Structure 1
């Protein structure tokens, strides 16, 4: 049976303006969604590796899933979200405008942010490194909406564009691709569809969570 690679974004978080965004935690809704998936992992049952960004919200998503699956948990600091430390926290409306520019001008550093082109090269390199060599089961990457979208665009052979983002709703979405062909089979889907077998096909959304 062909091996499947999935990329899952962390779900809803507690927004704490005075705290480094990399240390934000899942909120009760996000944590409950992770717990529900861990209790009924569905099509994740063949997963043997869970590979996570080192940011708190990603680890709070990855750890319960790895434990439930009896899978190894690997932490890759290079899978972090696009570096936005130059601005720190931005109010939601302002963040959306800057994020729009981030995707629209991938070669430019918007207000000191890591460029989309650089972030895309980084996440693609991380995934390639992790998938090099033989694998003994499906692989689950756990990360973030911004770099996840950049990965989706690279694997799909399309230019960087925010219309391929996971859409509104706070995150907790995934897409998958074959280990060999590295081509996404569908757009972003809610994590609840993993419990149902991941069969629902949905298109790409817009917006960033």
Structure 2
């Protein structure tokens, strides 16, 4: 496989605990197994570096992938999720409604201190700092959707609604899509 410059990965499925902040959730057993499968598919692109958000679910995802590839990980706070500390998880339906409001008002700080536009720009800046290519970068659903949608001319909310945990977008040096690797 050739042409890959960036492999942008959404973390594996977390162990959801509505009584704790999502920023503290680890992967669940099914999430770890799916990330193992994803790592096998990513290996064909011969990545040379792995960077990750510091959140446990992302870090664990990166550790599994890096372990499979024989690489170390670089923890990069710029790869974290959209800053929305004022939005709790709550019910699945309520969470989806709150996320929809973020995508509907990308220039407003809905539920947080960072707008959707700012989150996408932050992720782009963080990715640009990593020189090793192909790079595996493990991040989160909202910020990944904002970044990929802008590159590919897609609707970010539609993309977010169709993401899996894990999910990966293999992009070439010009930001074009080489392959999407989705694991339910």
Correspondence for 1:176 among 157, 170, 174: 170
Please state how far the C-alpha of 1:127 moved relative to its aligned partner.
Answer: 0.9
Larger Rg: 1
- Please give the alpha-carbon distance, in whole angstroms, between the structure 2 residues aligned to 1:86 and 1:18: 14
Other-structure match for 1:202:
none
- Please give the alpha-carbon distance, in whole angstroms, between the structure 2 residues aligned to 1:141 and 1:168: 16
- Please give the alpha-carbon distance, in whole angstroms, between the structure 1 residues aligned to 2:148 and 2:138: 14
Please state how far the C-alpha of 1:72 moved relative to its aligned partner.
Answer: 2.7
Please state how far the C-alpha of 1:161 moved relative to its aligned partner.
Answer: 3.1
Q: TM-score scaled to structure 2, two decimals?
A: 0.88
Please state how far the C-alpha of 1:43 moved relative to its aligned partner.
Answer: 4.3
The runs of 5 or more residues in structure 1 that have no matched partner are 193-209
Residues 8-28 of structure 1 show CA distances to partners (whole Å, capped at 9, x for unaligned) of 111211111221211101111
- Please give the alpha-carbon distance, in whole angstroms, between the structure 1 residues aligned to 2:91 and 2:125: 31
Other-structure match for 1:199:
none
- Please give the alpha-carbon distance, in whole angstroms, between the structure 1 residues aligned to 2:47 and 2:178: 18
Other-structure match for 1:164:
159
- Please give the alpha-carbon distance, in whole angstroms, between the structure 2 residues aligned to 1:11 and 1:17: 17
Q: TM-score scaled to structure 1, two decimals?
A: 0.78
Residues 93-137 of structure 1 show CA distances to partners (whole Å, capped at 9, x for unaligned) of 111111111111101122335211111111111111214xxx4x5
Superposition pairs of residues 58-97 of structure 1, within 5 angstroms = 58-97=58-97
Residues 87 and 113 in structure 1, CA contact (< 8 A), matched pair in contact too:
no
Correspondence for 2:181 among 182, 189, 199: 189
- Please give the alpha-carbon distance, in whole angstroms, between the structure 1 residues aligned to 2:106 and 2:38: 34
- Please give the alpha-carbon distance, in whole angstroms, between the structure 1 residues aligned to 2:129 and 2:101: 29
Aligned residues: 182
The runs of 5 or more residues in structure 2 that have no matched partner are none
- The alignment status of 1:143 with 2:139, answered yes or no, reads yes
Query: SS in structure 2 opposite 1:165?
Result: helix
Please state how far the C-alpha of 1:59 moved relative to its aligned partner.
Answer: 0.7
Other-structure match for 1:112:
112
- Please give the alpha-carbon distance, in whole angstroms, between the structure 2 residues aligned to 1:43 and 1:28: 20
- Please give the alpha-carbon distance, in whole angstroms, between the structure 1 residues aligned to 2:155 and 2:129: 22
